[in-house]
Amino acid sequence: MKTTRYSRSLVVTLVVIAALYVVTHAEPPAAQPADRTRPGGDLTTDVQHAGAYGQSAPNLPTAKLLEFTAGNRVFTTNWVTAPASVKSFDGLGPLFNRVSCSACHLRDGRGQPPVSPEAEMESMLVRLSVPGEDAHGGPLGHPVYGGQLQDRAILGVPPEGRCSVSYSPRTVTLADGTAVELRVPTYTFVDLQYGPLGEDILYSPRVAPSVFGLGLLEAIPEAMILAHADPDDRDGDGISGRPNRVWHTEQQATVLGRFGWKANAADLREQAAGAANGDIGLTTTVNPQQNVGTGQTAAAEAYAQEGPELSEKFLDRLVFYTRTLAVPAARNTDDEQVLRGRNAFQAANCQACHVESYRTGHDPAVPQLANQTIFPYTDLLLHDMGEGLADGRPDFAATGREWRTPPLWGVGLQETVSGHTTFLHDGRARNLTEAILWHDGEAAASREAFAQMSAAERAALIAFLNSL
């Protein structure tokens, strides 16, 4: 190789220019003290309006805004039946739940159950399986209906059917005599178009979770998550914390699960491709087959397309989008009631599962996610939540009584963004108080602590949650 000799002055000049570049272009150092008011670290947004869950990370460089925005376009696109004039967004179905990601995750927020037994599910679906496991230890899909009930279909194809939700009241009386009415859901399958589901059907209704901050959860080092695991409750606190171990389609391996109500998806690419396939009926390089059961294949073949319907380019952008949505800043954190509520949260041992803080790893999928101190209030682990919440449907390592601790960041803005305050996997809780009172199993002691609180203490705890 030819050696080039630079004059010393040129080298000095280059060094000076490089130093100047660093001085003038370096972002402020990320290493700030832990700040609960900035739950997403440098990926925190101060926006508090209805778009609060849909902001890009403020630390993205300008060029990356293009990728984020293109991802948002994919997220909000209403897919149409192929062939259509716009080839990039056709390939809907044949069976599907909704025609876009944002239909369920409206404004990147949480879905809710239908308002009446007659109403269709708008932002919620029902997973299906039969007893047993598939080749990779996952749920064994129904032989005809597959892994979820798809309640919509393209023209000329019958939708699978509909799941109707009705509620009956159950009253819980707190220590101070306050009566709180919970609603207990009953699910009924109606208009089934492909035969009966069978006596041994297992089903799990699930609302669409919010999608902001997910890149930060993906960037938590696995060891930090496993550090909170206590599968056999060796510390005897009544709380286990079990990691789910799920099949990774692309890696063809069993790995830690992080996303979904039962931590049943390993990472955001798997999650996005799975949702595109199951919920919208889109093939990808991850899932090249249409999501249809045997007996429905005729419909699938009639609408088969060459290559993935959701292109690799658009899948990448979609995943980038979900990775870089910012977390809303906490509000009113110095408020006296909020501070008392935080104490009550800790006194009730809520943080045993709703783990407050982590530091993300050095080398995440997107560099801006690195080394952030975050406050998601989750351990991403599975916990037995008792019989009342049990769906009886195992999902990889998760039993029919276990659910993954959902993050609490941003919950106080849910009403602003999503226009409702329903919580839990099937949206049965109409507010945070009901959600807390549904906690059972490993969380029974925390629920009992809440039930023993004075009205003022309970209000403070709710105020704390609403500050997040």
Nearer to another protein, 80 or 180 (CB): 80
Burial class (CB in 10 A: 0-12, 13-18, 19+), 17: exposed
Nearer to another protein, 76 or 351 (CB): 76
Q: Does 333 bind another protein (CB under 8 A)?
A: no
Q: Does 88 bind another protein (CB under 8 A)?
A: yes
Which member of 41, 68, 218, 395 binds another protein (CB under 8 A)?
68
Q: Does 253 bind another protein (CB under 8 A)?
A: no
Site for another protein, residues 10 to 29, rule: CB under 8 A: 16-17, 19-20, 23-24, 28
Smallest distance from the beta carbon of 215 to another protein, in angstroms? 14
Task: Report yes or no: 358 and 72 within 8 Å, Cβ to Cβ.
Answer: no
Q: Does 323 bind another protein (CB under 8 A)?
A: no
Longest CA span, the chain: 87
Q: For residue 463, give the H/E element and its range.
A: helix 455-467
Contact pattern from residue 45 through residue 64 relative to another protein, giving x for each residue in contact according to CB under 8 A and a dash for the rest: xxxxxxx--xxxxx-x-xx-
Q: Does 72 bind another protein (CB under 8 A)?
A: yes
* Torsion on CA atoms 384, 387, 392, 393, rounded to nearest 10: -30
Residue 41 tokens read as 């670290």
Q: Does 73 bind another protein (CB under 8 A)?
A: yes
Smallest distance from the beta carbon of 169 to another protein, in angstroms? 28
Smallest distance from the beta carbon of 135 to another protein, in angstroms? 37
The type of residue at 250 is E
How far CA 214 is from CA of 167, 266, 322, in Å, comes to 32, 12, 6
Nearer to another protein, 415 or 448 (CB): 415
Choose one: 69-77, 351-359, 372-380, 421-429; the region binding another protein (CB under 8 A): 69-77
Residue 397 tokens read as 């390592």
Which residues in 222-240 are b (16+ Cβ under 10 Å) and which e?
eeebeebbbeeeeeeeebb
207 closest CA partner among 380, 377, 405, 424: 424
Which region, left, alpha or beta, applies to residue 452 given φ > 0 means left and ψ of -120 to 50 means alpha? alpha
Q: What is the DSSP letter of 402?
A: E
Output the DSSP codes for 267-321.
SHHHHHHHHIIIII----SS--S-S--TTSHHHHHHT--SS-SS-HHHHHHHHHH
Q: Does 120 bind another protein (CB under 8 A)?
A: no
The percent helix, strand, coil of the chain (3-state, each to 5) is: 30, 20, 50
Q: Does 107 bind another protein (CB under 8 A)?
A: yes
Smallest distance from the beta carbon of 16 to another protein, in angstroms? 6
Site for another protein, residues 261 to 290, rule: CB under 8 A: none
How far CA 125 is from CA of 203, 245, 413, 426, in Å, comes to 10, 23, 23, 9
Q: Does 156 bind another protein (CB under 8 A)?
A: no
Residue 421 tokens read as 């305050």
304 closest CA partner among 85, 82, 150: 82
Choose one: 1-9, 80-88, 366-374, 421-429; the region binding another protein (CB under 8 A): 80-88
Smallest distance from the beta carbon of 180 to another protein, in angstroms? 26
- As a whole number of angstroms, the distance between CA 462 and CA 436 comes to 10
Smallest distance from the beta carbon of 1 to another protein, in angstroms? 32
Which residues in 328-348 are b (16+ Cβ under 10 Å) and which e?
bbbeeeeeebbbbbbebbeeb
Nearer to another protein, 67 or 230 (CB): 67
Q: Does 331 bind another protein (CB under 8 A)?
A: no
Smallest distance from the beta carbon of 47 to another protein, in angstroms? 7
Q: How many residues line the site for another protein (CB under 8 A)?
A: 45
Smallest distance from the beta carbon of 468 to another protein, in angstroms? 17
Q: Does 106 bind another protein (CB under 8 A)?
A: yes
Nearer to another protein, 39 or 260 (CB): 39
Smallest distance from the beta carbon of 61 to another protein, in angstroms? 8
Nearer to another protein, 125 or 225 (CB): 125
Smallest distance from the beta carbon of 73 to another protein, in angstroms? 5
Binding positions for another protein, rule: CB under 8 A: 16-17, 19-20, 23-24, 28, 45-51, 54-58, 60, 62-63, 65-66, 68-70, 72-73, 76-78, 86-89, 100, 102-103, 106-107, 122, 326, 416, 419
